[in-house]
Amino acid sequence: MSVHNNHYLKGTLFCGVCGRGLSFQLAKGRYEYLYCLGQKNRNPTGCQEPYMPAGDLEAQVEQLYQRIQLPKSWLKRLREELEAEITARQRRNAAEREFLTRKLAKADTERRKLLDAYYANAIDVTTLKAEQTRIATDVRAAEERLAAVDAHLAEWQEILETAMRFATNCATAYARASAPTRRRFNQTVFTRIEVRDGKVAAVGYYPPFDLLFSSSEFEYGDLVELTGFEPVTYWLQTSCSDQLSYSPAEIGRRPPA
């Protein structure tokens, strides 16, 4: 499955010798190869990595999805522990909401006292405006944080759930996907795949896949400590979750993305 002018593995595959990206070449109108840009780039590295048949690397990436796929038997345990973690985070969020609510009430009291002091000629207008600006800044920060508390928790839960569902079905979904969709799969899961002597030599993952696929002995405790990460991608939350709502047979019958 190849796109002649813009192969779906470009941007994901890198040379394991010199670090340059791999590019695509169609030879004699029929032979498809991937090669290290260190050989032809304007600033060549002198890399001697051989040209690699595109089909060989395509098959290796498909096999990689099969190896990294999580067993479905893990999903029930992961969800149970996720629910426990969400409950704990909800308790922490409740404490933060209470703190922020008190902070907003304190700011309102400060505003009233400030006006009383001004009307009593205890402070001048310059001091009044400066203090009003300070209080307004504090209030805005507290209100923004208050709005983000629950939103962040919901987003964290949604993205992790989507990632887990994807990780149990990624091999089937990837194998049946069109070239543009495969590109988006790769750009969502892998930071880079390094190739040496025509073989996949090293793999880097984006969060949270780096923890999901870090080893065969997956530790959920490592995953729940992950805080503050940005959404994997918008596509992961939409197209990927939509694709995973279908059975493998149904995915195969869907039109190409």
Highest mean pLDDT among 154-158, 183-187, 232-236: 183-187
Residue type, 246: Y
Q: What is the pLDDT of residue 249?
A: 34
Paired tokens of 245? 């709502």
Neighbours of 117 (CB within 10 A): 14
Domain ranges, residue 113:
1-257
Rounded to an integer, what is the distance from CA 253 to the centroid of its chain?
Answer: 28
Q: Express each pLDDT in 7-66 by its tens digit.
A: 899 999 999 988 989 988 888 878 888 988 887 666 666 788 889 999 999 999 998 888
Q: What is the pLDDT of residue 86?
A: 74
Task: Report, as an integer, the average pLDDT of 130-135.
Answer: 93
Rounded to whole angstroms, the Cα distance separating 68 from 60 reads 12
Q: What is the pLDDT of residue 159?
A: 66
Indicate the pTM of the whole model: 0.54
Rounded to whole angstroms, the Cα distance separating 203 from 223 reads 19
Q: Express each pLDDT in 104-127 by its tens digit.
A: 999 999 999 999 999 999 999 999
Query: How many domains does the chain divide into?
Result: 1
* pLDDT > 50? residue 221: no
Higher pLDDT among residues 78 and 139, named by residue: 139
Task: Report, as an integer, the average pLDDT of 132-151.
Answer: 88
Rounded to whole angstroms, the Cα distance separating 95 from 146 reads 11
| pLDDT above 70 as % of the chain | 71
Q: Could you give the C-alpha distances from 124 to 107, 108, 127, 131, 137, in angstroms and in order?
A: 20, 20, 5, 11, 20
| Phi–psi pair at 25, nearest 5 degrees | -145, 135
Q: Which residues contact 104 (CB under 8 A, 6 or more apart)?
A: 139, 142, 143, 146
